[in-house]
Amino acid sequence: MENPHSPSQNSIDGGHRTSLTNHHPVTPSTLSSSSVDAVENKKSMKKDDCGSEAKTKPFDICTPKPSGGVSVLKPSLFAVNRGKRNEMKQSSKEIVLLRPGMVLLKGYISITDQVKIVKVCRELGLGDGGFYQPDYDDKTTLHLKMMCLGKNWDPQTNKYVDQRPSDGSVPPKIPPEFLTLVHSALEDSHSVTRLSNSKPPFTFLPDICIVNFYSQKGRLGLHQDKAESKPSLSAGLPVVSFSIGNSAEFLYGDGRDVDKANKVVLESGDVDKANKVVLESGDVLIFGGKARNVFHGVSAIKPDSSPISLITDTNLRNPGRLNLTFRQY
């Protein structure tokens, strides 16, 4: 039987694969009925900054539409213009090799696909096993909201389990349309380099997706993703990361020393420092092979940097960044 997650499909709509430059968006009906990072450095964690909702109440990644005659504040002209510039720069797509095994696909996910992903994540996030406030066994909380798909990652044990220990909920399944886009990105990344010590993308079958939502004060300390199985880690099977919404400063390096880490700024604009690569909402970051155990984290979220149509079409919280990381256990 043909693999339903075959990389021969390119965009979420399941159409034929095209080149990265001609990456097509999904049709409006594709995801309408479809119902992310790892261990954070505990020293960088303090208290929750994404809201005061109870842990048992799902967190809404989108601003609820007001009822009645309540007016909504419109974004500033600066924010609107910046969002429009971000959208325009997405037409310039490129693939960047950050280090052996670590590839960045700039502006890979179309605005249409981003809107669909946000809507699906919101729908899943408001149901059983949806977004919640994770913490460690010492009650130290992570500076983000989290939802796991496929398997639940438990920050208190750094292990994957079938149910969330805090409430017994079962993680939702990964929408197959997401997997199609994952394999498409992997296949296109090989135009720059093959992930060293990694198997071809069609053998990569992600069964876990950790979805993180960062507010303006969201952070994630430098860490390694090492909760997956030994066979997966030994094979160097990659982590595939989708960035949607506000820009973020992403750090990566060979250790936990922030001062020695390289920086990738997930933001549209010009390169302002030699050690920064400018990105935007819609970027896909892949690290596997020799880079599979790279230390990485998020040090800052930049408000008012989302494409304006993404906010308009989804009401995604602003400030707010959605990050999906796919991996195979």
What residue type is assigned to position 63 of the chain?
T
Q: How far apart are CA 86 and CA 107, in angstroms?
A: 10
Q: How far apart are CA 29 and CA 27, in angstroms?
A: 6
| pLDDT score of 20 | 40
Q: For residue 299, what are its two tokens?
A: 């040090």
Is 225 annotated as contributing to ligand binding? Answer: yes
Tokens 């880079």 appear where? 291
Is 24 annotated as contributing to ligand binding? Answer: no
Q: From first to last of the 329 residues of the chain, give the pLDDT tens digit.
A: 434 344 333 445 444 333 343 344 443 344 444 443 333 333 343 344 444 444 457 899 999 876 655 445 555 666 556 555 555 555 567 898 988 999 999 999 999 999 999 999 999 999 999 999 998 776 678 889 999 999 999 999 999 999 999 899 999 999 999 999 999 999 999 888 665 444 444 579 999 999 999 998 888 888 999 999 999 999 999 999 999 999 988 888 888 887 777 777 655 443 333 234 555 899 999 999 999 999 988 888 888 999 999 999 999 999 999 999 999 99
Q: How far apart are CA 49 and CA 144, in angstroms?
A: 7
Q: Flag whether the pTM goes above 0.85.
A: no
| pLDDT score of 39 | 37
| pLDDT score of 77 | 63
Encode the chain in three state secondary structure: CCCCCCCCECCCCCCECCCHHHCCCCCCCCCCCCCCCCCCCHHHCCCCCCCCCCCCCCCCCECCCCCCCCCCCCCCHHHHHHHHHHHHHCCCCEEEEEECCEEEEECCCCHHHHHHHHHHHHHHHCCCCCCECCECCCCCECCCEEEEECCEEECCCCEEECCCCCCCCCCCCCCHHHHHHHHHHHHHHCCCCCCCCCCCHHHCCCCEEEEEEECCCCCEEEECCCCCCHHHHHCCCCEEEEEEECEEEEEEECCCCHHHCEEEEECCCCCCCCCEEECCCCCEEEECHHHCCCEEEEEEEECCCCCHHHHHHHCECCCCEEEEEEECC
Is 223 annotated as contributing to ligand binding? Answer: yes
| pLDDT score of 285 | 93
| pLDDT score of 276 | 46
Domains and CATH numbers, the chain: 20-64+72-327 (2.60.120.590)
| pLDDT score of 297 | 86
Q: How far apart are CA 249 and CA 266, in angstroms?
A: 6
8 A C-beta contact, residue 45 and residue 136: yes
Interval 255-280: pLDDT, tens: 888 777 777 765 544 333 323 455 58
Q: Residue 242, Cα to own-chain centre: how many angstroms? A: 4
8 A C-beta contact, residue 177 and residue 30: yes
